[in-house]
Amino acid sequence: MENVGADHLSALEKNVRAIKFYQRYGFKLTQKRKAVDDTEEFLIKLMI
């Protein structure tokens, strides 16, 4: 993955496939969750 200078990103909590993809490139799950407006979904934060 090309280095774009990002040290964190967010993914939908239910998007396990994306989370596993980011983890393969060194991102780690954090304890931070944020509700997505007008839904019952959450974003989770991953950090490098």
pTM higher than the cut 0.85: no
Tell me how crowded residue 11 is: count the other CB atoms within 10 A of its CB. 19
- pLDDT bucket at 5, cuts 50 / 70 / 90: confident
Which one, of 40, 44, 41, lies nearest residue 22 by Cα? Answer: 44
- pLDDT bucket at 35, cuts 50 / 70 / 90: very high
Cross-strand pairs, 25: none
Cβ pair 33, 42 in contact under 8 A:
yes
